[in-house]
Amino acid sequence: MSIGASINARELTKSYGGGAGAFHALGPIDLDIKPGEFVSLIGPSGCGKSTTMLLVAGLEPPSTGSIAIDGKALTQPITEVGIVFQDHLLLEFRTAMKNVLLQQEIRGLDRAESLERAEHLFARLGLVGAENRYPWQLSGGMRQRVSIARALVHNPSMLLMDEPFGALDAISRTQIRHDLEMLWLETRKTVLFITHSIDEAIGLSDRVFVMSRSPGRIVDEIRIDLPRPRPAHLGEYPDFAAYTKRIYSVFEKLGVYKFD
Amino acid sequence: MSVTRAMSAPIRVAARIAEPALWFAGLLLLWQVLVRALDVPLFVLPAPSDFLLRIVTDHQRLLHEGLITAQLVVYGFIAGAIPGVVFGYLIANVRIFEQLLYPLFVFIQGMPKITLAPLMLVWFGYTTFPKILLTALITFFPVLVDSVAGFKSIDHRLYYLSRSTGASWWQTFWKIQLPSAAPSIFSGFKITVVVAVTVVIVVEWLNSNNGLGYIVLRAMDAHDTALIFATLIVASAIGVLLSYAVALVERIAIPWRRH
């Protein structure tokens, strides 16, 4: 079992452009995520959720503030990470398995060991039989499952997911949410999960951070104390209704929703 | 539709070739009959039997000169296509190249470059070099444009992924960028290689003592239209064969493509 990384961000801000035309996109925010924790960021479009993820990955530098991964200051892109975007971003010229094994090729990992891990992930993600298919031969849900396998095959300590199920239909989303939870329970990587969906955030997370828009700030933090693995139909927990209500009320206060 | 599906693959291919071939044969037949019926003089318009016969009788000469032309096409094409892909990559990926070179290239692209042929001959004399250079120049731009489009079409988030794997420049280029851009690059190749045949023949008209363009020029002086037609057919065959050769290389190089 791998050990998840800790993420600590202090006074993080991000602005694009300079001078009078500068756009203040994010922050300041503080973020403390414990090793092996599953944390969601939820908020309206343009609240800086995706930016936060890129900053944590070291793929974009923050304008001010600092990030530490496992206590070490972040200065360049971290490689001990798997990233999943809303679009599968699979290479169309590689089969599902070869897309996953790209990680092994680039990182120079042991081939047999990676193949074994990949096969295990394919089994856990319901991808058996899809190994030699090209992305265009797979359904949207299958493609996203392959991109999750690609993000995990090198056994990273951290998984960053930017609306990974955003483009999927509701039925696929529920299944893939469960499969991801089961994988997480098995490996306990630190997960930063970015979503628009209140159900997804509550269904998966240990903690949910609610964000406001322009500039993006964390306005609420909710600890989700529901047993795991969580069922498809979360409504059977009375607490679920309370969590949902709380997130909606934050959104209403922020003006995200205007219901008269 | 259901009949076609029931047929086996070789028969389907034969059927696909047979239909246009029959149309073509019918057209030639009509041509033959009209020329003979209207008694058109040979130097105005030869009947298909006249120029098809010329291909047979003059096959040695046509083959010899055809190979000279084909060789120039291949050299010129390669000399233009490789820099086209290299500059396409640079313009798509390096901002300074895009800012400095792309406007210049777009300007030159709009110029009828074939008009440079006389100038090239003045500069470089009656050698093969100006022919290859001009063919390369005319090949370069369309390949460049398709390469830029191919490299630019790559989702920028793929670069986030490659950086998070710690990929080197070479790994990113070889495993992600080049194969992603390959279909676009090859579609540029396939169109351009046919244009290259035209360019070589035009330059051969201007200066040569060999090649298919030279045969056409001599045949024109002699009002030998049957030979002109025979040469045009050989030139077309070269264009088609080279285009198929590129398509074959494409199938080998990027077998994943949905053909």
> What SS3 class is residue B146?
helix
> What SS3 class is residue A29?
strand
Residue B1 has pLDDT above 80, yes or no: no
**Closest residue in B to A154 (Cα–Cα):** B165
Handedness of CA B121, B125, B127, B133 (dihedral sign): negative
CA angle B76/B78/B80 to nearest 5° reads 70
Closest CA to A151 of A91, A80, A92, A205: A80
Rounded Cα–Cα distance for residues B147 and B156 (Å): 17
Chain B contact for A209, CB < 8 A? Answer: no
Token pair 């969590």 in the structure block, residue: A243
Q: How confident is the model at residue B39 (pLDDT cuts 50, 70, 90)?
A: confident
State whether A92 and B256 contact (CB < 8 Å).
yes
In sequence order, the β-bridge partners of residue B159 are none
State whether B175 and A89 contact (CB < 8 Å).
no
State whether A136 and B180 contact (CB < 8 Å).
no
Partners of A103 on chain B (C-beta within 8 Å) are 165
Tokens of A46: 């343009």
Tokens of A98: 């070869």
Partners of A161 on chain B (C-beta within 8 Å) are none
Range B44-59 average pLDDT = 89
ipTM: 0.90
- How many angstroms separate the CA of residue B180 from the nearest CA in chain A? 7
Interface with B, mutate which of A69, A92, A155 (most B CBs under 10 A):
A92
Q: How far is CA A203 from the centre of its chain?
A: 13
Q: How confident is the model at residue B257 (pLDDT cuts 50, 70, 90)?
A: low
Q: What end-to-end distance do the CA atoms of chain B give, in Å?
A: 20
**Closest residue in A to B163 (Cα–Cα):** A77
Q: Which CATH number fits domain B46-253: 1.20.1090.10, 3.20.20.70, 3.40.50.11540, 1.10.3720.10?
A: 1.10.3720.10
Interface with A, mutate which of B172, B174, B256, B258 (most A CBs under 10 A):
B256
Predicted confidence at residue B258, as pLDDT, reads 58
Chain B contact for A59, CB < 8 A? Answer: yes
- Residue-wise pLDDT for A92-146, tens only, equals 999 999 999 999 999 999 999 999 999 999 999 999 999 999 999 999 999 999 9
Rounded Cα–Cα distance for residues B126 and B214 (Å): 13
Angle between helices B117-124 and B178-206 (to 10 degrees): 80
Surface-to-core class of residue A127, CB atoms within 10 Å of its CB (0-12 exposed, 13-18 middle, 19+ buried)? buried
CA angle A249/A253/A258 to nearest 5° reads 90
Closest CA to A144 of A117, A180, A116, A194: A180
Superfamily of domain A7-72+194-260 in CATH is P-loop containing nucleotide triphosphate hydrolases (3.40.50.300)
State whether B165 and A107 contact (CB < 8 Å).
yes
**Closest residue in A to B178 (Cα–Cα):** A93
Chain B contact for A123, CB < 8 A? Answer: no
Number of H helices, E strands in chain B: 12, 0
Token pair 């040469």 in the structure block, residue: B231
What's at A198, amino acid-wise?
I
Predicted confidence at residue B7, as pLDDT, reads 63
